[in-house]
Structure 1
């Protein structure tokens, strides 16, 4: 039986507690080797929940794991991930992978030079129902799409303790999910144009390499709940993806993410959703920034 992959968790905030720690401690493909955070008390509290060490330094964490899972702000992640790549560790990165194209490029270059495996937590792409939907598109030609992702997260205090989101806004928080999904469904996006208003609504128009056109509306100031809806158009009609009607599959989603990261760590094989995918999305986000 193959031994579980030793995974070190960087960060001890809400997302680390809610998602990363329970996902990678659950196994069987992985084992949580320990936690490091810039806040030592937070790292100790989270580590104690799982009976693992709270590392005293980032270097100590790197010395005790084969793969590093990041749950820190994008600008912090970009710098720390370069160090992990140079140490030969596989990387599980959050979206966006950085807050600037320059930092994303530096990270991708470090990964290429080190030859380490990488993977990005674009959670929708690990959902079985989303994978089934994208598979259906192989036999359903599409020339256009529209999507919307609306939440009240920038109104209800969800991100009061997340300064980077307050600064970068809904584009960098929600935009990677929508752009990635449209890119996966219609083909690579080569151009993005945006329009926004003072209320925080952002509308993006994308032209894909195959001349398909898609539109994405995102906003974090629309209560009371999350709404995500996509329509794809082609010569055979319309396909609809309504997130409100999708079955609950968080367990399977986490299992896919965990198993695929463990496989990437063990084999060194590049994952389809890797740092270069993240760099592509980073460049699209930069194009989409309101002028």
Structure 2
């Protein structure tokens, strides 16, 4: 990243994702001044702020007024309207995925950011983790892809897994794997194979969803998404096949490492005015595709 002055970052959210990933990353980042926290539970905001020697805000608009940028670690349908308000207040946006679960709500964030002239980045982990982001960039420059597959087999709702996350994120149980890990799959497939122009979605066991995607450049792909996979069968795999051969995405790194890169990307976009590749507009496109998949499931 090109050197720039530190920006004052606020954090919206106090759940496990905020505590384990966002707050420690913002507190440690050399170009971020962790200015404050707001949450829907004031006592949780106070506890999180105290743990990182920052300020808990009772009023979210007061947090926006005190910040140059805001990171969001809240459910998508809470995130979208607050992000539009933050943009209107002149704050750059570090958004979680999915941006929203309704295209109109996601579009409102894009429009607010455009009007205010603020930068945005959506934290799709694979787009920022060093090993996977480099691999995506390399494959996006290759021609002749025939097909691909992206499989996200999570065991979040398997007995004995992370009860803290399950209890604090009921939107995942309501919306399922399509909306939780679907953005990860799309964030990898789209920059390599092109935009989605046709899709079919079908249900599998548990909350499993199977997607068949047609891409604008003629390639096809599939995605299998699940949060209810048996623990022994869990894992992530992205595979591409084309005239250059068969290529499998590497894995590795931590969420905090990836988020630190996302902060760098947002700072660079704010400094230069050049939109990031995984900005709110890209987040809107992911929401549009997932909404179309939801309609396919319901039909």
TM-score (norm 1): 0.93
Q: For the residues of structure 1 that align with 2:47 and 2:98, how far apart are their CA atoms?
A: 27
Corresponding residue number in structure 1 for 2:81: 79
Which residue number corresponds to residue 192 of structure 1? 199
Q: Which runs of 5+ in 2 are unaligned?
A: none
Picking from 142, 146, 168, the partner of 2:145 is 142
- After TM superposition, the structure 1 = structure 2 runs for residues 33-72 of structure 1, keeping only pairs within 5 Å, are 33-72=35-74
| TM-score normalised by structure 2 residue count | 0.91
Post-superposition offset of 1:61: 0.4
Q: Does 1:204 align with 2:211?
A: yes
Matched, 1:220 2:227: yes
Q: Distance in 2 between matches of 1:196 and 1:92?
A: 32
- CA deviation after TM superposition for structure 1 residue 82, in Å: 1.0
Residue 97 of structure 2 aligns with which residue? 95
Matching residue of 1:236: 244
- Does the Cα contact within 8 Å between 1:9 and 1:21 map onto a contact in 2? yes
Shift of 1:235: 1.7
State which of 268, 286, 290 in structure 1 corresponds to 2:291: 286
Q: 1:105 to 1:139 in 2, by over 3 A?
A: closer
Residue by residue over 1:167-207, the C-alpha shift from the partner in whole angstroms, topping out at 9 and shown as x without a partner, is 11110001000012111221122222101135222110000
Higher mean C-alpha displacement, 137-146 vs 49-58: 137-146
CA contact (8 A) 1:191 1:287 kept: no
CA distance in 2 between partners of 1:251 and 1:279 (Å): 24
Alpha carbon RMSD of aligned pairs, Å? Answer: 1.7
Report whether the alignment pairs 1:106 with 2:114. Answer: no
- After TM superposition, the runs of 4+ consecutive aligned structure 1 residues lying more than 6 A away are none
Q: How many corresponding residue pairs?
A: 288
- 1:15-34 residue pairs with structure 2 within 5 A? 15-34=17-36
